[in-house]
Amino acid sequence: MKSFHFLVLLSLALAISFASAFDPSPLQDFCVAIPEPKNAVFVNGKFCKNPNLTVAEDFFFPGLNVPGNTGNRVGSNVTLVNVDKLFGLNTLGDVFVFPIGLIHFQFNIAKTNAVAFAGLSSQNPGVITIANAIFGPNPPINPDVLAKAFQLDNDEVVKLQKLFANA
């Protein structure tokens, strides 16, 4: 009988010890945020306007037609547009979908400027620079592992780690 109770207790302990954590998906396709909560739905920390009452002005943001400074280290300019500046979301056009956590990039091979509208599918979006994440974390990744992964010698890896340590 004691062994049966022990097995049940062990099974329960193992069953509740597993954790699954991820960034939740957005709760609806679009939310036109409004300051007045009367007759509204509370989604993602904002009160949403009734979709039947949305108008074109809810999806307009002035200033995206003005090019920004792209002479920085990353070679791009980010104009932050969030629900506080653009109350709606217009989803017409090309769409690139990247699974959560997948490292991805886009490269403009043309000689003209490119414009991208990026919507991050996250409750708390942000930007991660891959080089900083690989060569500059604290505590650092073992240089032997990085040397093998990138087919570099250890001196080159240590040099890169010093370069990105304070980035």
Consult the annotation and say whether 104 binds a ligand: yes
Taking the C-alpha atoms of residue 31 and residue 119, their distance in angstroms, rounded to an integer, is 13
- CA 128 to the chain's CA centroid: 8
Q: Which residues pair with 42 in a beta bridge?
A: 47
Cα atoms in the 13 Å half-sphere on the side-chain side of 42:
3
Say how many C-beta atoms besides its own lie within 10 A of residue 136's C-beta: 18
Taking the C-alpha atoms of residue 86 and residue 32, their distance in angstroms, rounded to an integer, is 8
> Are 83 and 33 a contacting pair, CB within 8 Å?
yes
Residue with tokens 């991805």: 104
Annotated binding-site residue numbers: 104
Binding residues for Mn(2+): 104
